[in-house]
Amino acid sequence: MHRLDDEYEALRATVEEFARDVVAPVIGDYYERCEFPYDIVRRMGRMGLFGLPIPEEHGGMGGDYFALCLALEELARVDSSVAITLEAAVSLGAMPLHRYGTPEQKAEWLPRLASGEVLGAFGLTEPGGGSDVPGGMRTMAVLDGDEWVINGSKAFITNSGTDLTGFVAVAAITGRREREDGTTAPEISTIIVPSGTPGFTVSKKYSKVGWSASDTRELSFSDCRVPAANLLGERGRGYAQFLRTLDEGRVAIAALSVGLAQGCVDESLRYAKERHAFGVPIARYQAIQFKIADMETRAHTARLAYYHAAEKMLAGEPFKKEAAIAKLVASDAAMDNARDATQVFGGYGFMNEFPVGRFYRDAKILEIGEGTSEVQRILIARQLGLPA
């Protein structure tokens, strides 16, 4: 999948134009105000971006996950806040419902998710949990008659407190199961909690280093009651289901990372031709040329990695290792390119009014979210057969 066919290329070009003409001119102001860009998000909804991998029968575009990745890359070339809003809404919000929801749940939520009318969120990470999701989970859900009663908290949840947020799918311990060795392990299930449900509290937005125009919050649940029918997927399979979601999400985050890395190349090329030092454009200096060449090499290599992972995913082949490689390589490329682009810009690269300043602030989280770089290395090692 190294050459895009006409349909993919048309989508890529459309999103590229939207990002350049609609997002780029205004997103810096949203970013500095730490304000969610509702107008941009609604326009993305009208374009069908939130429904790219959702079947037409549920109001989507009937495309695939690679189409979503192409859109994420082009958006992230100019801004990662907008890109992560789309990624989380589709990968973490809509796709679990598409894969595991009941017909009733799909009918209620998918058309609105696909149109961007509402955003979905996924509540997995907890304040003390980090990468140890099963061992660190404390949120509990107890079945009381025909209702789940949820108590606990979640941290770093994207799209959880916007005016468009429709629900958060919450991972919670719903019991314990016995292992073969006689010990027990927590039974984790996923439950849909609509926004505004009594007992469900959304905290104020975090003050973040980057992704300042996206919505990220801590959530708490205190005797929060929802119908038993809000169980998403099979009871006790919530974590296993989310592992599949994470594998797909890593390909999407890799695409977003490539977009940021390529955006650094775009901005550095433009600036190097305009900026003069000692009487000539700095693009004439070999030190600058080598730096930009290295940046382009990283972006190109990372793009090939996520294309390969997506190709295996769409073919129905195992892709866990390839997804981890793509996420690791691409997030490294984003971080390295952001640093080098800032160096090319010199003092102006340290100013938030320039895109590379935002890129630098946005890049670090890509080595942390949806599995840290250390977790990716563990996954790659396990897939190679190395012992746990």
Residues 252 and 159 in one domain: no
261 found inside a domain:
yes
- Identify the pLDDT of residue 51: 97
Pair (223, 132) in one structural domain: yes
Domain extent for 166: 121-235
State the total domains in the chain.
3
Sign of the CA dihedral running 88, 92, 94, 98: positive
Query: What is the rounded CA–CA span in Å between residue 271 and residue 274?
Result: 5
Q: What is the pLDDT along the chain (388 residues), one digit of tens a residue?
A: 567 899 999 999 999 999 999 999 999 999 999 999 999 999 999 999 999 999 999 999 999 999 999 999 999 999 999 999 999 999 999 999 999 999 999 999 999 999 999 999 999 999 877 667 777 799 999 999 999 999 999 999 999 999 999 999 999 999 988 877 778 888 999 999 999 999 999 999 999 999 999 999 999 999 999 999 999 999 999 888 888 888 999 999 999 999 999 999 999 999 999 999 999 999 999 999 999 999 999 999 999 999 999 999 999 999 999 999 999 999 999 999 999 999 999 999 999 889 999 999 999 999 999 899 999 999 999 999 999 8
Active-site residue list: 370
Domain membership flag for residue 169: yes
In angstroms, rounded to a whole number, what is the distance separating the alpha carbons of residues 18 and 88?
Answer: 19
295 and 188 share a domain? no
230 lies in the same domain as 276: no
Residue 382, amino acid: R
Domain with residue 192: its CATH number is 2.40.110.10
Which of these three, 76, 93, 119, is where a domain ends?
Answer: 119
Q: Render the burial of 239-277: b for 16+ CB within 10 Å, e for the rest.
A: bebbeebbbbbbbbbbbbbbbbbbbbbbbbbebbeeeee
* Same domain (yes/no): 290, 251: yes
Q: Is 207 found in the same domain as 246?
A: no
Q: Give the integer Cα–Cα distance in Å for 189 and 120.
A: 17
Residue 189 lies in a domain: yes
Residues 327 and 264 in one domain: yes
Look at residue 56 and tell me if it is in a domain: yes
281 and 359 housed in the same domain = yes
- Written as six digits, the tokens of 189 are 């299930």
Instruction: Say if residue 192 is in the same domain as residue 245.
Output: no
Last residue of a domain, one of 119, 150, 169: 119
Q: Cα–Cα distances in Å, from 175 out to 183, 184, 221? A: 14, 10, 17
Residue ending a domain, choose from 187, 220, 235: 235
- What is the predicted pLDDT for the residue at 239? 84
Whole-number pLDDT of residue 272:
97
* Domain co-membership, 183 together with 102: no
Cα–Cα dist 332/16, whole Å: 23
Is 1 part of any domain?
no
Residue 12 belongs to some domain of the structure? yes
The pTM of this model reads 0.95
Q: Is residue 286 part of a domain?
A: yes
In a domain, 388, yes or no: no
